[in-house]
Chains A and B, each alone.
Chain A
């Protein structure tokens, strides 16, 4: 059957037609070989737009379709499905982008139209060579992996488990809980973080569908959507999890003191320790770098004390594999270390604290038993709270961390509440961003509590006569200010995990420019990634507060469950093949394949692609000296044709200068 091509040029309202002469492009397309129908329409992606294509396939014998509209990354699937609905193989479709790559970025309407014509000519030339291809169906493993046990990971795991699916929750710390477990109160309702998060942590530990792996990390991910094989590295606790009863006797007699990570360095822990007072699981862990026995010195105190014989200095790391259908990443954030910002004196002046330290100070089980005290044991008479430390700052992070304004207001309230109403509280802010539910109301409430707001980013914190002085400009009053205080709290920025790049590599996803993991679409795909079956939850994607992180996590759980519930997934047929009649058996491709998907068949003397393992990257095809290896849908014929279409002089205007086309500029409103 001869190729009968239909070309459809979209206006996208005025997004395309405001610059590109869409009817002109459609008319031009009519002159291209093989084109039997060519139309332009306001919104090709709308139902009537798609129906147009379906109509033409059914009634006009169109058997190849070209759509010139937005990026194929947005609507390629939409149109492929429309083709399929009309009974046409969806791979007989080619889409070319005349919006993001043309109308939105080209100044001159005539040039834009000309470029659009070139792109359409290329797509038409290419679609001639498209072949029938059929997606392969694969089953989806019903289990889900959640990486990270902060509030987002906990929420995602609980949601998935509730549906009856099995979840593996991998957390690299000795306990789940994440940053939220460190907080004291939560804004704007002031309910205590532990009171609302501990029940969830316990629910995770008790849920028969959740396989909790703490003190563990994912080191390798293989496979594809629906069928991932994940390698988990479980670090030794040196405490037998089955024997330990969590009594805590061992913690008392350990002679070695180590700075506590959980308490943000404000106090110390032992070499055998429970990660946090509310640890889940409550089993302690021995820090091998500091434990006397494990560093070759004489001790064994914990072993002697343990009534259940759970201490096992000989425990070793374990690596094992899990099979899952999808993965939810909830790896969280780090807080910026303010020590390099020497102007604020963190690390130099003992009364300068980070926000997480201040959270611990407020926490009833924290180093001060929940009292706001200076190092000398006295309550401060005045406190300065510096907003946006490292956020909204071109030298650090351009973005807003989204939570600092609110927790700063919470601190205002807590200081007034705990230390007394006479305590002076100064907020140094840039803008107050109180956008969430109940947030503005909370601001109003705190404003009425006699707190001072000074608009201006402080220049420095200095020490004068033993007191801290915040030096700033009050930009509303236009005057420099020097405010002496007893204590300074730095609202440090949320930032990507220090090892986010490594994590991205392991899971095959990307990072955005800010370093957070990149979502599939900033607005309509904030949960999914470019890698099918890998979803994002919480602050690994962007700074978020607790309600947003929880909502995001539930979204990720829904995505993972959608896959699991369907039970099968369609795998694109655009993989490599090697033509055995052409292959010379040089085996170059075998070594090139990053997925070990090519094997050498010694009997026939040719290389063979394992289609289940091939991802269609084309490394083999890009190299094959004999041209035997080809990627389906990206083969030489198709790319050459596209090239020719792009480079061929346009048949229409015999003009001396490119761009001096005769058609009128598209002057549509």
Chain B
């Protein structure tokens, strides 16, 4: 049996990180296949319920990524996301889910290389962390 391959769901904003992912693709920056994107219009619309559901139904980690502070296409949706993610991370800890399984990053539209690096690093980190146990509980 080879190494543990995590499943990671990324909620990314259409204007920045999704575009950065496109750019990483156009520039042929190889990435681990583990991260799958869900396109949102803004990180501000990422309901914490989506994140919890993802962590309970099979994701080993969730990435939320949007525009840099001040750059949000909708003025300040990313600040709202930042508050929600912070709060949620604290709650996750209380439920025994490692906080590192929820990550928030800012990746601008032109930062394809940052996107590829973030994906690679996150996969590495979660590989080291091992499978998400909440997932096993949820599937019992």
Contacts and interface: CB of A to CB of B under 8 A. Distances in A.
Interface string A644-655: 101111000000
B55 to A, nearest CB: 10
Most buried by A among B19, B22, B31, B49: B22
A542 to B, nearest CB: 12
Interface in A318-362: none
A357 to B, nearest CB: 33
Contacts of A513: 108, 110-111
A530 B45 contact: no
Contacts of A648: 58
B93 interface: no
Most buried by B among A71, A636, A642: A71
Interface stretch (A98-106, A166-174, A227-235): A98-106
B137 interface: no
Contact of A71 (B16, B22, B109): B22
B126 interface: no
Contacts of A617: 41-42, 44-45, 73-75, 77
B19 A73 contact: yes
A136 to B, nearest CB: 17
Contacts of A100: 21-22, 24-26
Interface in A388-430: none
Most buried by B among A97, A646, A658: A646
Contacts of A254: none
A622 B33 contact: no
Contact of A639 (B15, B38, B48, B81): B38
A108 B33 contact: yes
B9 A647 contact: yes
Interface stretch (A60-68, A240-248, A504-512, A554-562): A504-512
A89 interface: no
Contact of A634 (B1, B7, B41): B41
Contact of A618 (B2, B15, B40, B108): B40
Interface residues of A, number: 59
B109 A656 contact: no
A118 interface: yes
A530 B37 CA distance: 20
Given A622-B80, A647-B59, A122 B33 contact: no
Contact of A105 (B25, B45, B73, B84): B25
A106 B30 contact: yes
Contact of B5 (A72, A101, A595, A659): A659
B32 to A, nearest CB: 8
B59 to A, nearest CB: 6
A71 B25 contact: yes
Contacts of A512: 109-110
Interface of A: 71-73, 97, 99-102, 104-108, 111-112, 114-115, 118-119, 122, 501, 504-505, 508, 510-513, 518, 530-531, 574, 592, 594-595, 615-619, 621-623, 631, 634, 636, 639-640, 642-644, 646-649, 656-659
The 4 A-B residue pairs with the shortest CB-CB distance in the complex, in nearest-first order: A618-B45, A100-B25, A617-B74, A647-B58
16 contacts: A73-B22, A100-B21, A100-B26, A105-B28, A105-B30, A105-B31, A106-B30, A114-B33, A518-B110, A530-B15, A617-B45, A617-B74, A622-B81, A636-B50, A643-B54, A648-B58
